[in-house]
Each structure stands twice: as C-alpha cells, then as structure tokens.
Structure 1
Amino acid sequence: MNRYIAGLDRIIVLVIGVALLAAGGYIIAWDAGVKLIRTWVSRLDRHRLLGIPEEDWWHWVLTGTFVVCVVVGLGLLSLNLQRRRTRAVELQHNESGTDVSVDLGPVASGVASELGQLPGVRNTKSRATVDRGLPTLSIVVTADPGIDVVDFTARAERIAASVRRNLDGSDIAVQVLLHLDRVDAVQ
C-alpha cells in the first residue's frame, strides 16, 4: 500500500468518525434533555421535513448517493488491494561513479532459485513489489514438513544479507515466507 492511499484512507475514516461522533453526541444530548438541542429541533418545520421523501427529486438523490458511494468504495478497494510493482533501483558504482539501474524482478527470481537449492525446499515463487513505500523482494518457499527450520532460516538470512549488501545504497527489503506442506500430503 502506498503512503498516499493510506493517508486518504485515514482521512476518510476520520471524517466518518467525526460525523458519527457528532450524531452520537446529538442523540445523547436529545436523550438527556439538553435544552439547546430540544430548542433546535422545535424550530424545524416537521411537515416539510417529513414530506421530503415524497418529493420527485428524492428518488434521484438516493440513487445518485448510492452510485457515488459504490464507485468511491470500489475505487478505494481496488487502490488498497493493488500490489505496486517496483521500479528499477538506481545504484552508484563505487569504482567508476556511474549510475547503474537494477530491475528487482530478476533479482527476486535469483534469490528464489538460490533458496530453491536448499535441502527440503520443494517450490519457490518470487515477485518484486512495493510494500509500504519500500521496494520488497518477496519469496514464498514451500518445503517438506521435516525441514530443519533453524538451518533454513539461517541460510535464508545469509542470502538476504548478501542481496542487500550487493544492492548497497538502496533501501530494499527481502521477505522470505516459509510454507510447510501438510504431513499427510507427504505420505
């Protein structure tokens, strides 16, 4: 998720929360018999207020509100569920001082193939995404249930440290998720 989308989500939640707090406060004040609230309500034209749903335009207002809410809701949902693909990472070569552009997709594939060579690993899947604004190499490893998890973790951490060291000068996260096959699936 992108920082801007997260900020937009928080603003929308804040506005809805403040509106619900105001409505709740109004209802509590009405129930408590606060004179100011009762005076405001007594000034309303009840006949006109209760006649609004019978107006010709009321149906169109409700339909428009429904359509706008569905479109905005689906738009926000798609923005929140969309995985961001990484752009090429710019590195500076130490010896020559030139800029080098590195595509992280093949780097993720290389890390996955290296993890695939470890004992007990059956399958690997890789992708390069942006997670909370940080380019992330995400590798999902499926392994035998009897794998030595401590040894696998140590080797995976060494591989991740090597990748970060080789991509020096850029903030990159390496995420390795280990999924173990079911014991009865092995037999």
Structure 2
Amino acid sequence: MNRSASVLHRLSIGVVGVVLVAVAVAVILYQVSVEPVAGWISRIDTRQLTETVGKGWFGAVLALVAVLAAYWGWRLIRTTIAPHRPEQFLLDASETEGALTISLKQVAQAIEEHLATQTGLRRVRAQALDDRGQNIIRITVDARPDRSYDEIVGALAPTVEDLRTAFAGSDIHVQAFVHLDALE
C-alpha cells in the first residue's frame, strides 16, 4: 500500500479508536461511580446542552461535520478500492517548453510482447496500474513445470532490471510475480 494512504488510514482509525475508547471508559467509570470521572460527568449542565442542541446553528454545524465525515470516509474508501490504470507518466526531463510523457500501458504491452517470446514461460501478463496513487508496472509470469526457477528468473530478470533502470528516480515501481505450474 502507498505509504501516504497507509498513514492516512492508520491515523484516521487511531483517532476514531482513541475517542471511542475514551468515551467508553468514561461511561464505565461513571456507571460504577469512580471519582473524579463521576463528578466531572455529573457537573455537565444538561439544560445548557439541550438549549444548544435546539439552536439553529447547531444543525448547520452537525450537517457540516456529517459532510466532512462523509468526504473523509469516501477518500479512505477510494484509496482501498481496486487499482485503476494510469494513462500517462510525465518524465522528469520535462521542461516548461514541453512535456515528455510516455504511456505506461504501451510500456506494459511491449514488455508482455517481449517476454512472450521467451522459452519456458507459458503465459505472460504485464499491467500498468495506479494502486492507491502508486504507479506500478506489474509483470505476472506463469512458467511451465519442466523449467527450473533459475531459468525462469534468468528470462525475467533482464527485463525487470531494464525497467528499474529506466524509471530510476521516478515514482514508478516494478513488480514481478512468478507462478510455477504444478507438475503433472
């Protein structure tokens, strides 16, 4: 998972969790009359609380909080839904006069076509993904059972290293998955 998305998720869950635990502990301590918590809670002016809830601005504040919570919740959900495809990648060498872009989908297609010619690889799939804001080129290889792991990695490694060299310093990551078919 992308680090920034992961931090947002953990921070959000942590804040909500701490608030809920604090409220639960306060309710339990009040129910068993533990001081000073029971004294603090008994000093809350419920009449003032009722008057505040009845005021016109309270509904607006409550609606604003609900909208912000819904927006934040949607942002958190959106970062965890299925990855989507990135369109283009802006290269670091771009200047103000013009932008150098490449289509990651076309890079993935070229990788797939190149690796499909390798012997020992039964099926090759290369994808360009935007996984929670992280650009990834993911290569998945199914290998025939009569090939050794070293042969498979030997066919795959030069392509992976070429990609890592080409995208060095960018936010594009290269993943390679090898599925070894079972012996028949």
Under a length normalisation based on structure 2, what TM-score does the superposition of the two structures give?
Answer: 0.65
What is the CA distance between 1:128 and its match in structure 2?
0.8
Runs of 5+ consecutive residues of structure 2 not aligned to the other structure:
47-62
- What is the match of residue 88 of structure 1? 89
What is the CA distance between 1:122 and its match in structure 2?
1.4
1:73–1:100 distance in 2 versus 1, CA, 3 Å: closer
**How far apart, in 2, do the equivalents of 1:132 and 1:71 lie?**
17
**Conserved 8 A contact 2:2-2:134:** no
Number of residue pairs aligned between Structure 1 and Structure 2: 162
| 1:104 matches 2:104 | yes
**How far apart, in 2, do the equivalents of 1:160 and 1:144 lie?**
20
- What is the match of residue 150 of structure 2? 150
Under a length normalisation based on structure 1, what TM-score does the superposition of the two structures give?
Answer: 0.64
1:146–1:20 distance in 2 versus 1, CA, 3 Å: farther
**Conserved 8 A contact 1:89-1:103:** no
Runs of 5+ consecutive residues of structure 1 not aligned to the other structure:
47-63
**How far apart, in 1, do the equivalents of 2:34 and 2:78 lie?**
44
Once the two structures are overlaid, the 10-residue window that deviates more, 162-171 or 109-118, is 162-171
- Report the RMSD for the aligned CA atoms in angstroms: 3.7
**1:155 match: secondary structure:** helix
- What is the match of residue 179 of structure 1? 179
What is the CA distance between 1:75 and its match in structure 2?
6.4
**Conserved 8 A contact 1:135-1:171:** yes
**2:80 match: secondary structure:** helix
CA deviation vs aligned residue, 1:28-85 (integer Å, no higher than 9, x gap) = 6347752222234555799xxxxxxxxxxxxxxxxx9xx9889976764343113143
What is the CA distance between 1:138 and its match in structure 2?
0.4
**Conserved 8 A contact 1:90-1:99:** yes
